[in-house]
Amino acid sequence: MAGRHYDSSRRRVLKAGLGATALFLPVPYAWVWAQSEGTMKLLRLPKFALVIGNSKYKNAPGLNNPGNDAKAMAETLRQSGFDVTAQLDAGQDDMAAAIRTYVQTLASKKAIGLFYFAGHGVQLAWRNYLIPVDAAVRRPDDIQKSCIDLVALMDGINKAANPLNVVILDACRDNPFGGEVRIENRGLSQMDASHSTLLAYATAPGNVASDGEGANGLYTENLVREMQVPEARIEDVFKRVRLNVRRRSNGQQIPWESTSLEEDFYFIPPKELKRISDAEAQRLFVQELALWEKIKNAKEPEPLVNYLQRYPGGKFAELAQLQLDRVLAAQGEKKIEVVADTKNPYSKGTVRADTAFRIGDTYSWRTLDSLTGLELRKPFTMVVTQISDTEVIYNDGRPVKDLLGNRLKPATGTVWTPNQMVPVEFIVGKRWNTQFSYTTRSGHSSDVDLSLRITDRETIAVPAGTFDAFRVDANGWRRGSGISESWNLKSWYAPGVVRCEVAYEWLWRSRLGITNAQRSELTAFKQT
């Protein structure tokens, strides 16, 4: 009787609270189709670019490559259909006027915009400044008066309300004013991209990049080459650039991006954008999975680099990046990291996933119906009892996760093939995909395909405490064995504090409505 009362109460809550959103279209890759529609609209829009390269500074050391870099970038953009305004060795007045015109054009035309700057740049009080060639800086206060404030530029672009922006800064060099003007922090400060914007730096915030010894700087040389690859999504372009520059510099220069893009964009788009068939999608996944299974334990970088070049946004790219990091560290690479400051008002920060699990780490959980708040099962505790080169084993075998914390054998008895629900690096706006097979204890198998995004960094309170956590949203589907349902998940992570999720919510929705909705919360943890 009690069980029937609970079930009927729960159904009423489900109908009242989620009835409007319970409709589900069980069409694989429906989200890809929707995204393709958005991309097609973008590709029909006009495209404007402002390119500035400053080399011949009057009151600071000159630079060899920004002029060449700006010329190469301008030519590449013109070939991609951009209307380009280019300035070389621009003073403050010329830069400010060009930026005003650029922003006004974006606002009036509702065009795609790309801003590129190569030259000197500095940070002051977490704000980044692009330095004109006539800047006269004798003390820090002069920077605000004589230089171009990136925050003001981004505010202007944001107010233009155009559908997509790219901002590229090859300006992460040493303090150009030397010891005469004390700059507390090196390179550029981290800044989160505003709406529908991709913000790219030549190297990670808080670090510097060399001017380069050839005709072009290392970053722009790789960027213009990758921009000319046909049918490459913009985020894949920057991922390949990051990988190439990292390998060429032995980890001493690693480009960085912050993105809030919601649609794909191509510098050289496919001749036709269309949804591939389910059968073709499955064939491509099986092909990628076979390659990943072959190289996942590689001890040399080349197989992993080749995979990431081929699949920069692949179903196993996060796992490949983790393994590449481990391989290169074993070979002596001293990789630079983002210098993040929790007091920075312009960024929610970047934090790397904590993979330093130890035997004896203990995590206790409770699981609730996320709509009624009633407990669904008894609280349970997971204790790390064994750690291999690739797996973290709890409670002598149930469950099992990989080093990032991705489920392989949950306590329910299901088995998951390799997946990447957890990213290597947490930064708001990051998006990626995962696909895997899901086999129940009874042997029924189905496929899961999810699109994931870090949507925010927020405070979350659970019985184990209050945490400053990144929220990951995942949406997609599960099909097979007579099942066709959507999956909607929210997970909260506090990397650097807890090595697993702090909480997660999981909603399964079938054609007939929501079939399950639960929330698991950390009640206590102990990390050795």
pLDDT for 472 equals 98
- Sequence-distant (6+) residues with CB within 8 A of 332 are none
Range 1-6 average pLDDT = 38
Q: What is the pLDDT of residues 239-264, one digit of tens each?
A: 999 999 999 999 999 999 999 999 99
Q: Residue range 499-505: average pLDDT?
A: 96
pLDDT value at residue 12: 39
pLDDT of amino acid 178: 66
Whether residue 184 has pLDDT greater than 80: no
Q: How sure is the predictor about 11, in pLDDT bands with cuts at 50, 70 and 90?
A: very low
Q: What is the mean pLDDT of residues 270-294?
A: 88
Q: How far apart are CA 37 and CA 33, in angstroms?
A: 6
Q: Report how far Cα 181 is from the mean position of its chain's Cα atoms.
A: 35
Taking the mean position of all CA atoms in its chain, how far away is CA 101?
31
Least confident of 9-18, 28-37, 86-95, 421-430: 9-18
Has residue 22 got a pLDDT over 50? no
401: tokens are 């996760």
| Residue 322 DSSP symbol | H
| Strands 400-402 vs 431-439: parallel, antiparallel or unpaired | unpaired
Report the DSSP beta bridge partners of residue 516.
508
On the question of pLDDT at 29 being above 50, the answer is no
Mind giving me the DSSP string for 11-74?
HHHHHHHHGGG------TTHHHHHHHHHHHHHHTS-EEEEEEE----SSS---SSHHHHHHHHH
User: 379 versus 2: which is more confidently predicted?
Assistant: 379
151 φ/ψ angles, rounded to the nearest 5 degrees: -60, -45
**Is pLDDT above 80 for 458?**
yes
Show the domains of the chain with their CATH numbers. Answer: 34-259 (3.40.50.1460), 279-330 (no CATH), 349-526 (2.40.360.20)
> For the residues 414-428, what does the mean pLDDT come to?
96
Poorest-pLDDT segment among 50-54, 327-331, 349-353, 482-486:
482-486
Distance CA 442, CA 17 (A): 33
- Mean pLDDT, residues 193-216: 90
Say which residues have a Cβ less than 8 Å from residue 258's Cβ, sequence separation at least 6: 190, 191, 192, 193, 198, 199, 347, 427, 428, 429
- Is residue 16 very low, low, confident or very high in pLDDT (cuts 50, 70, 90)? very low
**Three-state DSSP string of 283-313:** HHHHHHHHHHHHHCCCCCHHHHHHHHHHCCC
- pLDDT > 90: percent of the chain: 74
More confident residue, 467 or 478: 467
